[in-house]
A and B are shown apart, each in its own frame.
Chain A
């Protein structure tokens, strides 16, 4: 016979003002199995918890029902209390009579009636609760960071600092990401390369960090603490271990007409190339789309000039397999393509550039050696128009609904740098709103306006018309003075919206993590768990989770590292015991559960069964990996034969609750 204790919380007046708590306790005392039913002002307080503990001991309770706030709030509190009194923590049930009752009802009579019903359902459920024990699963003490931009680098350095091995997988030939392309950083205007490249070197020299550059994640299997990952090391046709990065091959390569990605295609590189002088690893890569030797077997110059014999035209992609305890996603962002925004004439005129292109045009290591010249005729621009929110805050399908967050600040930076270096240049910035929340951000923007006399105009540019004399006609509206403006500009700079990197979506599928409609990774809780994904053991770092500037990215990178370290520190992890399990005798191997499982926790195994006639038969049945299962319950609903059930939320428990409510 069950011996159940019921405890009704007042939550100050949160519950007690709308629910007659004494009546609830009274009503529930008559439920079957209930041996004690009482109310108290704050059940979660120490004395409230002691009430529960004492009752468990005194009345030898076999189950506890707490009528209080949401289980998200205090389920753990009461489970711990029960455990300390010797009761299995999974024999505690919460009836949520605050969020789902007192807060949403006004009349005491109806709220009280509902609270009683909710309590009754919890009592009915606790009758069927079984003691559950958490399993343990070992942790591989190695982390994988996907993406080698500033987010990934920061995360890797922090994890390595704690003494754990960490691998960075970067799809490009060098780590560094977008930050390596940036000239100066806001709001301090310090040089991006000067603060980034030491970190890149640190990462490459750290004994705990292995960099897999020019590599991509191919397959992810396993679960928190024990992931098995296949990494494709793409053929770079250069032996990384031999190449010294001397750059002789890049000088001698006769194929020099390859658009240089690092400079946003504003100049050319050779077919064998090192992306930039401070690349890490500093080894050459051959671009098979342009290399004449690889395309038609004629050339071989790089191989001849290489003194260490590092060139290997026969190199092929290699797949390596590694085990990891934690995975951090740091895939970053890309500016959107502007082909749908031809009102700004981006495809018609070389002097209409994106902000990232402007970064390269202004960078000392860029195509013009740091002198700002128009791409078309290499002359100094004297009038420059910046257009903000190109594709951001867009209410149609062309652009993105969100604010890209970084554009207001980098545009202010560009405007200020240009006015500083070329005071004879007039700079206009068209904006919808200027958004500068951040430490020293608004001061920075005001400096652009007040000290540097950048013309900030509220309004959007409607049309950009390139002219044959090299000028660019800009037609815009000034919303504050309600005027149409026509500006003859020399350059137009478009602040393109940013979007997640294209590799993010296939990666999310591999990792069984969630994304939002914009393909940003979804964090486990928007406020309280911002760097964890909903999938255990997968953490989020940087702009893959949402638009971020560098300080925020670094902060999140370190936070993700801290979470990963917290996991790697453990020898084993305790798993949530409320996971699915399959009744193999009922399972018909239909795969319905496997298809709906968002975490990849279900696999099928061939198992031998003894049949009633004493023969044996091999049948295909579902098997749940309890370390991977997150207890969402999707499989229990999908299973047509009722074989799948969820510990702690079994079908019979839920039906008992429904029956109690409908009684």
Chain B
């Protein structure tokens, strides 16, 4: 059994428990052990856009460094945490000035310089487990279900740093959908923004954005939509005004692996 350091993030302990629970259960079924680092803290979340670049990077670096100390790759599952942690890792390995300031501040036993490999859970499925192997482990394939993959913006961009997939024509989630026996629905808005935090400021804007996403998916014949992001899920469910069901990708993964009853909301 291969062991990885697993970073859940705050939201997965509160609002997005399903994303976390089924990620863990599925990993176990796939022969992957996920171990949380001790004393993990917020990824940096919404503060990454703040002016003081260094302070916003510190908590991400702490997480990255604890994986390094354990000598393992780091697995994330929340799109936003993944984006913050992977970007920070990318920056610190390239920007000497930033690396110096961060290390001066943190005073780690050994300076951190971007050594940890960061996988999103989807990348783990693709690159560690392999979609072919996943397909073999599926016990309850979602035959005939038309699923629209929703990437949002955080999972793919900036593409140089995230390096997960082609930002304009991604395939990782569609390949995942095929692996669990369902049919992917390609729709143009799959990599556009859901409205994000603007829901706090101007609900109508968030409604417009999430409505466009849901409308486009439904228009192309989707039965459901999956995401890896708690905020996207919130916007798509609460603000879009659409009745298309939205799930975390880990939920339908668990379902296909026989770890969860079918979804019926």
Contacts and interface: CB of A to CB of B under 8 A. Distances in A.
A463 B187 CA distance: 12
A468 B221 contact: yes
Nearest to A349: B188
Interface string B214-228: 001001110000000
A465 B169 CA distance: 13
Contacts of A464: 188
Nearest to A398: B168
B220 A345 contact: no
Interface string A343-370: 1010110000000000000000000000
Interface of A: 339-343, 345, 347-348, 463-468, 473
Nearest to A341: B168
A345 B169 CA distance: 9
Contacts of B192: 463
Contact of B169 (A339, A467, A468): A339
A342 B169 contact: yes
B168 A467 contact: no
Given A343-B168, A468-B221, A348 B186 contact: yes
Contacts, number: 29
B188 A463 contact: yes
A463 B167 CA distance: 13
Contacts of A468: 219-221
A151 to B, nearest CB: 34
Interface of B: 166, 168-169, 186-189, 192, 212, 216, 219-221
Contacts of B169: 339-340, 342, 347
Contacts of A466: 188
A473 B220 CA distance: 13
Nearest 7 A-B pairs (CB), nearest first?
A342-B169, A465-B188, A342-B168, A468-B219, A343-B168, A345-B188, A467-B219
11 contacts: A340-B166, A345-B188, A348-B186, A348-B188, A463-B192, A464-B188, A465-B188, A466-B188, A467-B216, A468-B219, A468-B221
Q: Most chain-B Cβ atoms within 10 A of its Cβ — which of A342, A464, A467? A: A342
A341 B212 CA distance: 20
Contacts of A342: 166, 168-169
Given A342-B168, A465-B189, A468-B220, 18 more contacts: A339-B169, A341-B168, A342-B166, A342-B169, A348-B186, A348-B188, A463-B188, A463-B189, A463-B192, A464-B188, A465-B187, A465-B188, A465-B216, A466-B188, A467-B216, A468-B219, A468-B221, A473-B188
Contacts of B189: 463, 465
A465 B216 CA distance: 8
Contacts of B166: 340, 342
Binding site secondary structure of chain B: loop
Contacts of A463: 188-189, 192
A604 to B, nearest CB: 46
B166 to A, nearest CB: 7
Nearest to B219: A468
Contacts of B220: 468
Nearest to A339: B169
Contact of A340 (B168, B187, B188, B221): B168
A468 B219 CA distance: 6
Contacts of A473: 188
Nearest to B220: A468
B65 to A, nearest CB: 31
Nearest to A343: B168
Q: Most chain-B Cβ atoms within 10 A of its Cβ — which of A339, A341, A463? A: A463
Contacts of A347: 169
A39 to B, nearest CB: 55
A348 B192 CA distance: 16
A529 to B, nearest CB: 40
Contacts of B186: 348
A489 B221 CA distance: 21
Contacts of A465: 187-189, 212, 216
A340 B166 CA distance: 8
A348 B212 CA distance: 17
A251 to B, nearest CB: 38
A126 B188 CA distance: 72
A370 B5 CA distance: 62
Nearest to B192: A463
Nearest to A473: B188
A475 to B, nearest CB: 9
Nearest to A486: B212
Contacts of A348: 186, 188
Contacts of A341: 168
Q: Most chain-A Cβ atoms within 10 A of its Cβ — which of B169, B219, B221? A: B169
A59 to B, nearest CB: 65
Contacts of A339: 169
A23 to B, nearest CB: 51
Nearest to B166: A340
A460 to B, nearest CB: 14
A341 B169 CA distance: 8
Contacts of B221: 468
A436 to B, nearest CB: 30
A597 B220 CA distance: 58
Contacts of B188: 345, 348, 463-466, 473
